[in-house]
Amino acid sequence: MAETMKAAVLHAREDLRMERVPVPTAGPGELVLRVDAALTCGTDLKVFRRGYHAKMLTLNRLFGHELAGTVVEVGEGVTSFALGDRVVPLNSAPCDDCFFCRQGQQNLCDDLLFNNGAYAEFIGIPARIVEKNTLKLPAAMPFEHAALTEPLACVMRGLEESQAKAGQTVIVLGAGPIGLLFIHAASLAGLYVIAVVKRSDQVDTAKRFGAEQVLRIGDVADPIAAARALTPEGRGADIVIEAVATPEAWQWAAQMARKGGLINLFGGPPAGTTVQFDTNLLHYSDLTLKASFHHTPSTARAAFDLLCSGRFQCQDFLTGTATLDEVPEVFTRMLVRPAEGIVPEIKTAIFPGRPANELHPAFAAAEKVSA
C-alpha cells in the first residue's frame, strides 16, 4: 500500500494541480475517511478564481469541502464511529466556548475550525468536527446526496435568520446552485417563491425546484417593478434573498421588499465592494437588512434531515460527474458560463473510485481480519 494519495492542491489563482500527498492518519479523536463522493461548489470556484479564501483556505492547501465517505481509520478515544461507517462530515466546527458561540452564533465563532481536502482519495477529519459535526448516513442514502449537506446547511441558516415562515412570499435573486437551493428549500417550507433569473435556461430549472413564478430580467424594462408586480397586491416580498453577489443585485433586493420586509444579503461580493442604498427607502419602509454567513451544527442537522426525508430533489442538483483526475479541468470549465440556451451544470459529483486493493492500511487490515 502506497503511503501517498492523489489530491487536488491549490497553488495560486486558477492553478489547481493533482499531486501525490501523504495519506492522512488519525490522531486522538480523529477519523480518516475514504472520499466516496465530493461536490463542486460556488465557494470553491471563487477560491479557485481568487487563489485564496480569507477564512477557509490559503495557498498550497488541499482543496474542496463538500463530501461524504467511509471511515477507514478511527483515532484513539473515538466511540461514536467505527470502521466502515458511512458518514458526512461538515467542513467546520465551532468551539462552543467563545462570546459568539455563547450567543447562539456559532457560525461567527472566534475559533471556527475549517477543514478542506474533499477532492482527494482520503481526508482526515479533525477531532472537533468528529465530535460536533459528523453525521452517519442511512444505509440507502447515496454518498453524493449526503454531500449536499454543507451547502444546504448554509441555506437553512439563511432561512432561519430570515425568520421564514410558511405562507410568506419570498423573492430569490439568482438561480445558481445556492439560489436553486434557496428556491427548493423555501418551497418545501411552504413559502411562495418568486425567482428572478438572468438566463432563459434558468426559467424551467427554477420552476422545477419549486418557484411559483419566474422573472427573467432580460424580458422586462424594469426588473424591480416587474418583480414587485408578481407579489400580493404588488406590495413587495416579505423576504428577499440575494444570491448573486453583485452590488446591483444587493440594491435591487432592497427595492423588491414590502414595507417592514427583510432582505437577506446572502451573496458575498469581493472584499472592498461598496453598495449604495436609498436611506429614505430603508427608513420609511422600516426594512431589515440581514446577511447570513456559513452554517451552525443545528442547521447542518436540519439540512441533513431534509435530505434524508425523501422530499428533497437531490439527484436533480447533481448534473455532472467527473473523476478525481478531471477536477482541475472541471474548475477551468466552470470559469466560463456556457452560451445562452445551453443548460449549465449545477453541481458536478466527483467520484475518486479508489480500487479495493488500495484501501487505507487501517481499513485494509480490518477487512483482512474480518475475512
Share of the chain above pLDDT 90, in %: 85
pLDDT tier for residue 362 given thresholds of 50, 70 and 90? low
The predicted structure's pLDDT at residue 357? 37
d(C-alpha 179, C-alpha 195), whole Å: 9
Q: CA dihedral in degrees (299, 305, 310, 313; nearest 10)?
A: 20
68 against 3, higher pLDDT: 68
pLDDT tier for residue 338 given thresholds of 50, 70 and 90? confident
Taking residues 157-176, what's their average pLDDT? 98
d(C-alpha 322, C-alpha 350), whole Å: 5
Share of the chain above pLDDT 70, in %: 92
The predicted structure's pLDDT at residue 51? 72
For residue 97, give Cα distances in angstroms to 29, 94, 272, 275, 299.
Answer: 19, 8, 31, 34, 19
pLDDT tier for residue 263 given thresholds of 50, 70 and 90? very high
d(C-alpha 99, C-alpha 366), whole Å: 43
Tell me the residue ranges of DSSP E strands in 188-256.
Answer: 192-197, 213-216, 237-242
SS3 category, 337: coil
The predicted structure's pLDDT at residue 52? 64
pLDDT digits (tens, 9 = 90+) for 14-44: 999 999 999 999 999 999 999 999 999 998 9
Helices 297-308 and 149-161, packing angle to 10 deg: 110
Domain ranges of the chain: 4-152+295-370, 163-290
pLDDT digits (tens, 9 = 90+) for 204-241: 999 999 999 999 999 999 999 999 999 999 999 999 99
The predicted structure's pLDDT at residue 355? 47
What is the full DSSP assignment across 85-135?
A: -EEEE-SEE--S-SHHHHTT-GGG-TTPEE----SBSEEEE-HHHHHHSEE
Q: Residue 278 pLDDT > 90, yes or no?
A: yes
CA angle (87, 88, 92) in 5-degree steps = 135
Q: What is the identity of the amino acid at 1?
A: M
Residue 270's contacts (CB-CB under 8 Å, 6 or more residues apart) are 50
Long-range pairs of 84-87 with CB within 8 A, sequence gap ≥ 24 = 84/363, 84/366, 85/136, 86/36, 86/136, 86/137, 86/139, 86/141, 86/143, 86/146, 87/31, 87/33, 87/134, 87/135, 87/136, 87/137
CATH node for 163-290:
3.40.50.720
What is the full DSSP assignment across 13-81?
A: TTEEEEEEEEPP---TT-EEEEEEEEE--HHHHHHHHHS-BTTTB-SSEE---EEEEEEEEE-TT--S-
Q: Does domain 4-152+295-370 have CATH number 3.40.50.1100?
A: no
Q: Which three cell numbers stand for residue 321?
A: 460527474
Q: In the chain, how many H helices and how many E strands?
A: 14, 18
> Grid cell 452590488 — which residue?
247
pLDDT tier for residue 368 given thresholds of 50, 70 and 90? low
Q: Mean pLDDT, the chain, as a whole number?
A: 93
pLDDT tier for residue 356 given thresholds of 50, 70 and 90? very low
The predicted structure's pLDDT at residue 264? 98
The predicted structure's pLDDT at residue 360? 57
Is residue 207 within a helix (H) or strand (E), and if so which, with residue range? helix 201-208
Task: Name the strands in the sheet holding 288-290, side by side, starting at the edge strand that comes first in the sequence.
Answer: 213-216, 192-197, 169-173, 237-242, 257-265, 288-290
The predicted structure's pLDDT at residue 267? 94
d(C-alpha 243, C-alpha 337), whole Å: 17
pLDDT digits (tens, 9 = 90+) for 93-119: 999 999 999 999 999 999 999 999 999
pLDDT tier for residue 337 given thresholds of 50, 70 and 90? confident
310 Ramachandran zone, left/alpha/beta (phi>0; psi -120 to 50): left
The predicted structure's pLDDT at residue 367? 55
pLDDT digits (tens, 9 = 90+) for 133-159: 999 999 999 999 999 999 999 999 999
Q: Residue 343 pLDDT > 70, yes or no?
A: yes
